Structure 1
Amino acid sequence: MTTPATTPPRDPGSSEATERQLRLAVAQGAAYRKALDHMAQDVADAGGTQQAGDYLVGYAIEKAEGMYHLEDGELVWHNPGAANAHVEVVVCDGADGRFVPGLNVSATLVTPGGQELGPFPQELVWHPMLYHYARNWELPEDGEYTLRVHVDPPTFMRHDEINGRRFAAPVDVEFAGVRIERGAEPVDPPS
Structure 2
Amino acid sequence: MNRRRFLATTGLAGASLLAGCGSVQTQSTRAPPLVEGRPDATYRPTHVEGMGMAGMAEAGDYMVGLTYSYPHRFWTVTGTDAAQVDIQDGDSLHLMATVWDPETEMVLPVSAGVAITVERDGKTVDDKSPWPMISQNMGFHYGDNYQLDGDGRYTLRVRVNGMTERRLGAFSGRFGESAEASVNFDFAAAAVQDLSYEEFPETQGERAAVDLMEMSMLPTSQAPATDALPGTLLGTQTGSDGVYAASWLSPSDAAFLAEGESYLAISPRTPYNRVPLPMMSLDATVQQDGETAFDDALTAAVHPELGYHYGAVVPTDGSEPSVTVDVIAPPQVSRHEGYETAFLGTPSLSF
Distance change (3 Å), C-alpha of 1:53 and 1:70: closer
Q: Percent identity?
A: 20
Q: CA contact under 8 A between 1:41 and 1:47: conserved in structure 2?
A: no
Q: Confirm or deny that 1:155 pairs with 2:164.
A: yes
Q: 1:51-66 maps to which residues of 2 (within 5 A)?
A: 51-66=58-73
Give, in whole Å, the separation in 1 of the partners of 2:64 and 2:11. 12
Work out the number of aligned pairs and report it: 151
Aligned partner of 2:184 among 176, 186, 190: 176
**Structure showing greater Rg:** 2
Instruction: Give, in angstroms, the shift of residue 163 of structure 1.
Output: 3.6
Give, in whole Å, the separation in 2 of the partners of 1:72 and 1:163. 30
Instruction: Give, in angstroms, the shift of residue 127 of structure 1.
Output: 0.8
Give, in whole Å, the separation in 2 of the partners of 1:151 and 1:159. 20
Q: 1:32-181 maps to which residues of 2 (within 5 A)?
A: 40-42=11-13, 43-70=50-77, 73-82=80-89, 83-101=91-109, 102-111=111-120, 113-129=121-137, 130-160=139-169, 163-181=171-189
Segments of structure 1 that go 5 or more residues without pairing to the other structure are 9-38
Instruction: Give, in angstroms, the shift of residue 178 of structure 1.
Output: 3.3
Deviations 1:38-62 (A, max 9, x none): x953433442222332111100122
Instruction: Give, in angstroms, the shift of residue 177 of structure 1.
Output: 3.4
Structure with bigger RCO (C-alpha 8 Å, 6+ apart) = 1
Structure 2 length-normalised TM = 0.38
Segments of structure 2 that go 5 or more residues without pairing to the other structure are 5-9, 14-49, 200-336, 339-351
Instruction: Give, in angstroms, the shift of residue 153 of structure 1.
Output: 0.5
Give, in whole Å, the separation in 1 of the partners of 2:3 and 2:92. 36
Distance change (3 Å), C-alpha of 1:118 and 1:100: same
Q: CA contact under 8 A between 2:159 and 2:181: conserved in structure 1?
A: yes
Q: Residue 158 of structure 2 aligns to which amino acid in structure 1?
A: V
- RMSD over aligned Cα atoms: 3.1
Deviations 1:62-92 (A, max 9, x none): 2211112336844343321222221100100
Instruction: Give, in angstroms, the shift of residue 116 of structure 1.
Output: 1.0
Distance change (3 Å), C-alpha of 1:75 and 1:170: closer
Give, in whole Å, the separation in 1 of the partners of 2:150 and 2:53. 16
Q: CA contact under 8 A between 1:7 and 1:96: conserved in structure 2?
A: no
* Counterpart position of 2:272: none
Structure 1 length-normalised TM = 0.66
